[in-house]
């Protein structure tokens, strides 16, 4: 077979102008004129946009990525795949959370992107497959439960300020469980966590969650559980649907133990969140929201310690002020002065009493003398006898009254005397103390007021002792003051 000669007009897809080629002298029949790539791309784009236009396509999302807010992904089924994109303005308005593997329905324009030669769908809307039915079920159950008071604040229970035992209801080994345990160790490690394994998605997940809540609530007092955490990691609406079931809402509403939920991401809201006593944005936030912060507790403890220290200092200062005031009181500094005051008061009372008795006696004598004078003027014997009887009775009454007054005065004087003796210097001396007088006869109040060689007199209960000072040794501290000897010795320093 003979090789044909090279034709430059056929190279690169026929982009060369055939008229400029000297090797081809005439055009072949039924061959269209050559066009540029840009022109062909424009033809494809116009054909797709004009012939296909807006479409709604259902398929599985894959290879999702976001670039500067724009969405890029593929939509596929068992036999085909097509590229899709969504501008940021439309993506920001979308309620769907794009994730590889979810089934979605897209609404958009079929178009051709010439710079990359890509046929794709420019999406205006992305929604989950079956989302309309799920939304209707969600709204219907919300209205029903709201009417029954499940969402009312009055139906919610207060969360303990410092729970020491928490039941964690989630899938064992899941990321949500790991996040919660790690957050608990970092926030307040002394809190006990009781992990309860539950299914968080699937056909039987809702009933399992409700049974777990009821079982933990029934055993809460015995186990010391104060709060129940119901948590799950993120996922699609279908993945989280177990937490939107009526049986779970009933279990949470009937639970006596406070329930805190942390389901999905911050933007996910389930019926379980609405019925729970407290809803956290994420599983780890559910732990950190209810556990006390160690730093805050340390600050509170430090503040209480400072308040206690200030209160103790103020109490000590007030007590010391009272002691200083009492130490400066005249009665403690000079007890003889206080005794003299009481003695003078007693003597004044005694003098007043004796004076009153004398006045009363004088008045009685005057009355008696008047009665005698009046009787002397009456001559009848009967009146004299009557008067004599009255005089005798009055005299006896006067004597008894006077004697009673005198006895009462004596008793009062004796009582005051005993009181005076009990608080007087002799009572102190009788208890084993002594009083030291200097050469001038005045009490010695300080060791440095004496001089070596000075004559002093020590007054005891049963006598006096004269001595001469040969040494003065001041005490170094109050602990050097000797105690009262058992045999009634003196407290005087060795002189």
Q: Note the pLDDT tens digit of each residue in 283-307.
A: 888 888 888 777 777 777 878 888 8
Whether 9 maps to a domain, the answer reads no
Nearest partner of 40 among 90, 114, 105, judged by Cα = 114
pLDDT for 211 equals: 93
Whether 494 maps to a domain, the answer reads no
Shared-domain flag, residues 155 and 264: yes
CATH code for the domain of 195 = 3.40.50.261
Shared-domain flag, residues 117 and 167: no
Whether 23 maps to a domain, the answer reads no
The mean pLDDT of 440-462, rounded to a whole number, is 86
pLDDT for 255 equals: 93
Q: Are 228 and 216 in contact (CB under 8 A)?
A: yes
Shared-domain flag, residues 267 and 245: yes
pLDDT for 165 equals: 92
Whether 26 maps to a domain, the answer reads no
pLDDT for 157 equals: 87
pLDDT for 139 equals: 85
Whether 113 maps to a domain, the answer reads yes
Q: At what angle do helices 131-147 and 246-254 cross, to 10 degrees?
A: 30
Whether 28 maps to a domain, the answer reads no
Nearest partner of 490 among 437, 428, 433, 431, judged by Cα = 433
pLDDT for 229 equals: 93
Token pair of 281, please? 């944005």
Q: Which residue has the higher pLDDT, 135 or 181?
A: 181
Shared-domain flag, residues 317 and 341: no
pLDDT for 449 equals: 84
Whether 29 maps to a domain, the answer reads no
- pLDDT (tens digit per residue) in 17-55: 444 444 444 445 566 777 788 888 788 888 887 778 788
pLDDT for 29 equals: 57
Least confident of 287-296, 437-446, 476-485: 476-485
pLDDT above 90 coverage of the chain, percent: 19
pLDDT at residue 482 tops 60:
no
Shared-domain flag, residues 178 and 306: no
Shared-domain flag, residues 318 and 206: no
Token pair of 391, please? 């005089």
pLDDT for 238 equals: 73
21 contacts: CB under 8 Å, gap ≥ 6: 7, 8, 9
Shared-domain flag, residues 313 and 362: no
Shared-domain flag, residues 83 and 231: no
End of a domain among 111, 129, 147? 129
* Structural domain containing residue 349: 331-423
Shared-domain flag, residues 177 and 260: yes
- Mean pLDDT in the chain? 81
- pLDDT (tens digit per residue) in 223-253: 999 999 999 988 777 778 889 889 999 999 9
Q: Are 124 and 110 in contact (CB under 8 A)?
A: no
- pLDDT (tens digit per residue) in 163-181: 889 999 999 988 889 989 9
The mean pLDDT of 190-219, rounded to a whole number, is 89
pLDDT at residue 427 tops 80:
no
Nearest partner of 251 among 169, 369, 335, judged by Cα = 169
CATH code for the domain of 45 = 2.40.50.140
Q: How are strands ordered across the β-sheet holding 435-437? A: 435-437, 455-460, 463-468
Shared-domain flag, residues 264 and 166: yes
End of a domain among 129, 159, 175? 129
Shared-domain flag, residues 444 and 377: no
pLDDT above 70 coverage of the chain, percent: 85
Shared-domain flag, residues 42 and 108: yes
- pLDDT (tens digit per residue) in 356-371: 998 998 898 888 888 8
Task: Report how far residue 285's alpha carbon sits from residue 399's, in angstroms, rounded to the nearest whole number.
Answer: 101
Number of domains in the chain: 5
End of a domain among 292, 310, 344? 292
Whether 416 maps to a domain, the answer reads yes
- pLDDT (tens digit per residue) in 332-356: 667 777 777 888 888 899 889 999 9
Task: Report how far residue 104's alpha carbon sits from residue 96's, in angstroms, rounded to the nearest whole number.
Answer: 9
Measured in degrees and rounded to the nearest 5, phi and psi for residue 182 equal -65, -40
Least confident of 11-15, 93-97, 107-111, 207-211: 11-15
Task: Report how far residue 363's alpha carbon sits from residue 189's, in angstroms, rounded to the nearest whole number.
Answer: 96
């Amino acid at each position: 077979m003979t090789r044909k000669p090279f034709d430059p007009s056929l190279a690169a897809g026929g982009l060369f102008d055939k008229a400029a080629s000297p090797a081809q002298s005439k055009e072949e029949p039924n061959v269209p004129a050559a066009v540029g790539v840009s022109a062909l791309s424009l033809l494809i784009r116009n054909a797709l946009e004009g012939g296909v236009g807006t479409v709604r396509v259902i398929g599985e999302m894959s290879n999702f990525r976001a670039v500067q807010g724009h969405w890029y992904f593929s939509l596929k089924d068992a036999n085909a795949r097509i590229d899709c994109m969504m501008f940021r303005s439309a993506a920001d308005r979308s309620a769907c959370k794009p994730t590889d593997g979810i089934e979605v329905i897209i609404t958009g324009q079929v178009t051709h992107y010439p710079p990359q030669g890509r046929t794709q769908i420019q999406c205006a809307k992305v929604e989950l497959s079956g989302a309309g039915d799920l939304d209707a079920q969600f709204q219907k159950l919300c209205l029903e439960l709201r009417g029954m008071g499940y969402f009312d604040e009055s139906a919610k229970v207060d969360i303990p300020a410092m729970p020491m035992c928490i039941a964690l209801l989630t899938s064992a080994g899941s990321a949500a469980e790991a996040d919660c345990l790690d957050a608990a160790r970092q926030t307040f490690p002394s809190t006990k966590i009781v992990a309860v394994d539950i299914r968080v998605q699937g056909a039987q997940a809702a009933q399992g969650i409700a049974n777990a809540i009821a079982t933990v609530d029934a055993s809460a007092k015995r186990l010391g559980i104060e709060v129940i955490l119901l948590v799950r990691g993120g996922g699609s609406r279908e993945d989280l649907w177990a937490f939107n079931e009526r049986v779970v809402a009933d279990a949470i509403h009937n639970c006596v133990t406070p329930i805190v939920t942390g389901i999905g991401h911050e933007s996910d809201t389930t019926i379980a969140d609405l019925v729970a006593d407290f809803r956290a944005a994420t599983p780890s936030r559910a732990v950190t929201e209810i556990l006390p912060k160690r730093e805050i507790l340390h600050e509170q403890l430090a503040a209480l310690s400072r308040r206690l220290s200030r209160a103790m200092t103020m109490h000590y200062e007030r007590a010391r002020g009272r002691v200083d005031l009492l130490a400066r009181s005249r009665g403690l500094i000079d007890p003889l002065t206080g005794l003299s005051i009481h003695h003078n008061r007693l003597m004044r009372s005694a003098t007043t009493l004796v004076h009153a008795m004398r006045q009363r006696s004088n008045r009685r004598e005057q009355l008696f003398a008047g009665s005698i004078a009046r009787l002397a003027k009456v001559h009848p014997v009967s009146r004299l006898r009557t008067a004599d009887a009255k005089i005798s009775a009055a005299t006896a009454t006067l004597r008894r009254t006077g004697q009673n007054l005198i006895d009462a005065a004596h008793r009062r004087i004796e009582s005051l005397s005993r009181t005076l003796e009990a608080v007087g210097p002799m009572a102190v001396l009788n208890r084993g103390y002594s009083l030291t007088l200097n050469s001038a006869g005045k009490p010695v109040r300080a060791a440095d007021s004496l001089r070596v060689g000075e004559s002093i007199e020590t007054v005891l209960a049963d006598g006096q002792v004269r001595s001469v000072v040969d040494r003065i040794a001041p005490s170094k501290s109050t602990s050097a003051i000797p105690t009262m000897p058992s045999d009634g010795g003196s407290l005087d320093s060795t002189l």
